[in-house]
Amino acid sequence: MMKDDGRLVIWPAYLDKERTRAEGRIISKKSAVSKPEFDEIFKAAQVLGLAPFPESDKSYPKSWWEKSGRIMIDNTEAKTASARKIAAEIKKIRGN
């Protein structure tokens, strides 16, 4: 996917409870999950109907050495609101 028009990028770092805001977390620790996996984020975005597009070979710029991947989702609301919903869905999937 070349152009990101109408899409939001969700990196695992955005949802990771164990990262600080400076390290990339964009939601509160209360809303975040521990060590979110690429597949979990993709599955949660599918359940929420966000039309996810996976790019597993990408690296988050602040931790360029880790190939964490990213998920492109439909831009239907604010990025933080989408991230909170995805984290909540991951908690449901995990059974937390």
CATH of the domain at 77: 3.30.56.30
Give pLDDT tens digits for 74-88: 998 999 999 999 999
13 phi, psi to nearest 5 deg: -60, -30
Residue that has been written with the tokens 């991947």 in this structure: 69
**Average pLDDT, rounded, for the chain:** 90
pLDDT at position 58 is 92
Judge whether 2 lies within some domain: no
Give the per-residue SS3 of the chain: CCCCCCEEEECHHHHECCCCCCCCCCCCCCCCECCCCHHHHHHHHHHCCCCCEEECCCCCHHHCCCCCCEEEEECCCCHHHHHHHHHHHHHHHHCC
- 12 pLDDT exceeds 50? yes
Tokens matching residue 40: 């979990």
Mean pLDDT of 21-43: 94
Share of the chain above pLDDT 90, in %: 77
pLDDT at position 96 is 62
Give the range of the structural domain holding residue 53, as residue numbers without chain letter. Answer: 7-94
Total structural domains in the chain?
Answer: 1
Judge whether 54 lies within some domain: yes
Q: State pTM to two decimals.
A: 0.89
Judge whether 1 lies within some domain: no
